[in-house]
């Protein structure tokens, strides 16, 4: 059985010291070991951004894709090999700006993928422009008078897109984050885990202290039922999207793969995909 150390490789992350992304990397490695994966059972597919580097820092299959396209690649990987556990990851710019079209449709499609968004509420790699997650009035070099766009709520969007698993966490809360990633991996469908991950270099507003002051942990509500969709939506709105924990889970809906008729459970490479002459003749007959 692999330990979290076996999910480490010898590549030294070049994130800035103190970047929240370090803990997300550690949480993925711990969660993978805790659910008894071996490195060859896991694929980590990432987009572009500081956060996108994560696929290179985990000892598993990995692909550092293109900006906003982690999810199309991850879905392709999952369809080609259902035996792999697939984690997609990237920044809030990657998933909620350029990649938002893919995010919404991946959510409603519900393939069995865990999507971890490293949400620092800014574009880090390109040196600090506003992202859709930046607060109104947020000042950057490209918005010197403050952002005049409203802030996007990924949790509300995910809920309205028919998500079957919605969670949020904070990179400083390694215990909660690891448990949520484990739950996301075990969930038979698409899991969105949005993780507050401070950018210590360019975001001087949404700092570790700011998150600690503003986060509302769902543990405070012992009667909260994550199976209740309306309660989940209400709680997201009541807390202005700042709550952490497992917000919503629907275990009734089948994954996309499970709904494709005749789709085998093994990797496509292991399946016999030969078209029999009889089947071929039947197909041709349909066009006559
Ligand atoms: C098609 C395309 N457009 C724009 C860029 C430039 N670009 C690279 S990363 C990035 C945004 C990074 O922000 P985010 O996704 O939030 O990740 P972070 O760096 O904050 O982790 C942008 C706009 C690009 N690489 N490709
Ligand atoms: S610029 Fe920000 S997001 Fe990028 S590595 Fe540095 S602290 Fe992390």
Q: Nearest ligand to the C-alpha of residue 48?
A: 1
CATH of the domain at 18: 3.40.50.970
> Is the distance from CB of 60 to CB of 74 less than 8 angstroms?
no
Q: What is the pLDDT of residue 236?
A: 98
Task: Give the integer Cα–Cα distance in Å for 39 and 59.
Answer: 6
Is 48's C-beta closer than 6 angstroms to any atom of ligand 1?
yes
Q: What is the mean pLDDT of the chain?
A: 97
Is residue 123 within 6 Å of ligand 2 at its C-beta? Answer: no
- Give per-residue pLDDT as tens, 122-158: 999 999 999 999 999 999 998 999 999 999 999 999 9
Distances (CA, A) of 160 to 3, 109, 134, 187, 251: 37, 13, 21, 19, 17
Domain count, the chain: 1
Ligand 2 center–CA 222 separation, angstroms: 35
Of all residues in the chain, the percent with pLDDT exceeding 70 is: 100
Whether the CB-CB separation of 278 and 199 falls below 8 Å is answered with no
Residue 262 has pLDDT above 90, yes or no: no
Does residue 107 carry a pLDDT above 90? yes
49-58, 62-71, 202-211, 258-267: segment of lowest average pLDDT: 258-267
Please give the distance, rounded to the nearest whole angstrom, from the Cα atom of residue 117 to the centre of ligand 1. 13
Pocket test for ligand 2, best of 16, 91, 93, 118 (most atoms within 8 A of CB): 16
Residue 154 neighbours by CB under 8 Å, 6+ apart: 92, 95, 96, 103, 117, 119, 133, 192, 194, 241
Cβ atoms < 10 Å from Cβ of 12: 7
pLDDT attached to residue 192: 99
Read off the pLDDT of each residue in 5-12 and give the average, rounded to a whole number.
97
Is 100 a pocket residue for ligand 1 (Cβ < 6 Å)? Answer: no
The domain containing residue 273 runs over which residues?
4-285
Residue 273: pLDDT band by 50, 70, 90 thresholds? confident
Partners of 90 in the β-ladder: 117
Residue 28: name the closest of 13, 15, 42 by CA: 42
Q: Which atom of ligand 2 is nearest to the CA of 20?
A: 8
Which residues touch 258 (CB under 8 Å, ≥6 apart)? Answer: 188
This prediction has a pTM of: 0.97
């Amino acid at each position: 059985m692999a330990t979290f150390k076996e999910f480490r490789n010898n590549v030294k992350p070049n994130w800035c010291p103190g970047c929240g992304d370090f803990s997300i990397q550690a949480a993925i490695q711990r969660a993978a070991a805790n659910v008894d994966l071996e490195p060859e059972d896991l694929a980590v597919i990432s987009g572009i951004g500081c956060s996108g580097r994560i696929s290179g820092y985990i000892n598993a299959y990995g692909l550092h894709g293109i900006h906003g396209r982690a999810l199309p690649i991850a879905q392709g990987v999952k369809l080609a090999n259902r035996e792999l556990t697939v984690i997609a990851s990237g920044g809030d710019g990657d998933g909620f700006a350029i990649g938002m079209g893919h995010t919404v449709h991946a959510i409603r499609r519900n393939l069995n993928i865990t999507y971890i968004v490293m949400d620092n509420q800014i574009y880090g790699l390109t040196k600090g422009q506003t992202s859709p997650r930046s607060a109104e009035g947020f000042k950057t070099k490209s918005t010197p008078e403050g952002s005049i766009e409203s802030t996007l709520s990924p949790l509300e969007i995910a809920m309205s897109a028919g998500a079957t698993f919605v969670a949020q966490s904070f990179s400083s809360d390694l215990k909660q984050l690891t448990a949520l990633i484990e739950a996301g991996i075990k969930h038979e469908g698409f899991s969105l885990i949005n993780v507050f991950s401070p950018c210590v270099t360019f975001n001087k507003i949404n700092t570790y202290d700011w998150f600690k002051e503003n986060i509302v942990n769902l543990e405070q509500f012992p009667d909260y039922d994550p199976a209740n969709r309306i309660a989940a939506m209400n709680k997201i709105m009541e807390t202005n999207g700042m709550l952490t924990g497992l917000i919503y889970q629907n275990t009734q809906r089948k994954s996309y793969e499970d709904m494709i008729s005749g789709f085998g459970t093994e990797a496509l490479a292991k399946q016999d995909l030969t078209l029999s002459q009889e089947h071929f003749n039947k197909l041709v007959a349909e066009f006559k």
